[in-house]
Amino acid sequence: MKIYNFFFFALVLLSIFQHCQATDSQPNILFIVCDDLNTHVSTSDYPYISTPAFDALADNGMTFERAYCQYPVCGPSRASFLSGLYPESTGVTNNTADIRNERPGTLTLPQAFREQGYWTAATGKIFHNSKVDPGETVWDERAFFLNDEMPLEKKAKEEFEAEHGSINERKNKQLWKEFLLGYAPQTMNQTPGWGPSGLTDEQHRDGKNARKAQIWIESRAYGEKPFFMAVGIHKPHVPFLAPQKYFDMYPKDGLRYVKPPSNFWDTVPKTAISKRFEGFGFEHSVENDDLRREYMQAYHACISFIDAQIGSILDSLKANGLWENTIVVLTSDHGYQLGEHFQWGKVTLFEVCNRVPLIIRAPGISKPGAHSQGLVELVDLFPTLADLCDVEAPDDLQGRSLVPMLIAPETAGKEAVYTVVTRGKALGKAARTERWRYSKWSDGEELYDLKNDIDEHHNLARSPEHSTTLKVMRRHLAQMETKAKAAAR
């Protein structure tokens, strides 16, 4: 076995060496991370949506079909995969914490590349927001955009001001907010919000993000250096706004979904519930078919919209002769609930909230059209890209390189993967193996057979016949807990 491992490792090193020789330089990186995108994409075997850019990238790269986030909320997830550390080691377990304060001196993925000769740039949301984004200490160039004003917003403003005066007057602040709430769901100016925007692709922030990346590519802003270009795609984050043409692709009466059992929460720890469904206008454990279809149509419209923007960036790589020397990573910070288990949004430990799309194309390394069912984590991205580009990474990274899997897709993934989420002052924790998902909460446990119950409708934690499996999964979780805290400071 040791001999096999030695020769396999040698093969990995040889492949990377040959790749660098063939390109005569370190490869570029295009790192695309979507916001709140679940596995409702064609490359994740979701048949009800059209994502041709995802398909095209998958045809040229490798699809990891079982990739998981480490925390199903934007800030903690991004702090985790950008540092290569689990949330319990980063100290970032909410959207307000800053890794620079929680774990001073932590080297992040783009910073490592910049310090070792790469030109780095970011447009859109990469770190959680501008307050935690390290700015010029990490990026050579940085860009943020907003949507243009929607026609509906302009109309609402004109109607309001004709009767009440300027929306900027102090006395009108609350009245204006209330007016928008009753005007149209697109103009709610708060989450969730949904509907056709009345804007073109180019007037949306993601259209602007895509165009900025194209400008950097076409102008060769990176000069003579290899580049690490990060593109933060905002959608399908709420509000679910997209141009009308994308809504037209998904008639509401044609949408398909699986209804959860009406008594599902009778057998599941109550702490596992996220009350975000209330903000979406739903009642606990009550199906609302019409409203669910409204949101699903809008969410899917956003996905097809961002797919088009991603396609335009990939086209620019090809048109400018960079396709064969640029590694492309396409993923999401976490998944998203669309009514499964009567849950909406994020902050849960269910599959649909923790599993994410992940496609990596590494020219000369990955095999076109390859797929892997192996378990991987977003925390693995830092060591993987460092390996591919011969960039020195910190010794305390907690992920592991996916290069062996890129070279040989049949290579096994991890034995178990790990996700946590905050509940009050405690953490709910999940361990997944090839077949099982186990979660531990302050008020109980969950166990699901992902082979026979992919929708996670039957909690087996109290089943006597699964007591042995439960013990095994408890051990896996305990091991992952220890590992996740190992790099804490």
Tell me the pLDDT tens digit for each residue of 317-348: 999 999 999 999 999 999 999 999 999 999 99
Task: Output the pLDDT for position 12.
Answer: 55
Max alpha carbon distance in the chain (Å)? 81
Q: Torsion angle, CA of 294/300/302/303, rounded to 10 degrees?
A: 170
Mean pLDDT value across the chain? 94
Domains and CATH numbers, the chain: 2-147+203-414 (3.40.720.10), 151-196 (no CATH)
Task: Output the pLDDT for position 2.
Answer: 46
Residue 269 has pLDDT above 90, yes or no: yes
Task: Output the pLDDT for position 181.
Answer: 86
Burial (0-12, 13-18, 19+ Cβ within 10 Å), 468: exposed
- In this prediction the pTM is 0.94
> What is the average pLDDT across 10-25?
53
Confidence tier at 407 by pLDDT (50, 70, 90):
very high
Confidence tier at 25 by pLDDT (50, 70, 90):
confident
Task: Output the pLDDT for position 17.
Answer: 52
Burial (0-12, 13-18, 19+ Cβ within 10 Å), 364: middle
Confidence tier at 187 by pLDDT (50, 70, 90):
confident
Task: Output the pLDDT for position 24.
Answer: 60
Q: Torsion angle, CA of 252/253/258/259, rounded to 10 degrees?
A: 90
> What is the average pLDDT across 124-130?
96
Residue type, 452: N
Residue 23 has pLDDT above 70, yes or no: no
Spell out the SS3 assignment of the chain.
Answer: CHHHHHHHHHHHHHHHHHHHHHHCCCCEEEEEEECCCCCCCHHHCCCCCCCHHHHHHHHHCEEEEEEECCCCCHHHHHHHHHHCCCHHHHCCCCCCCCHHHHCCCCCCHHHHHHHCCCEEEEEECCCCCCCCCCHHHCCCEEECCCCCCCHHHHHHHHHHHHHHCCCCCHHHHHHHHHHHHCCCHHHCCCCCCEEECCCCHHHCHHHHHHHHHHHHHHHCCCCCCCEEEEEEECCCCCCEEECHHHHCCCCHHHCCCCCCCCCHHHCCCHHHCCHHHHCCCCCCCCCCHHHHHHHHHHHHHHHHHHHHHHHHHHHHHHHCCCHHHEEEEEEECCCCEECHHHCEECCCCCHHHHEECEEEECCCCCCCCEEEEEEEEHHHHHHHHHHHHCCCCCCCCCCCCCHHHHHCCCCCCCCCEEEEEEECCEEEEEEECCCEEEEEECCEEEEEECCCCCCCCCCCCCCHHHHHHHHHHHHHHHHHHHHHCCCCC
Confidence tier at 4 by pLDDT (50, 70, 90):
very low
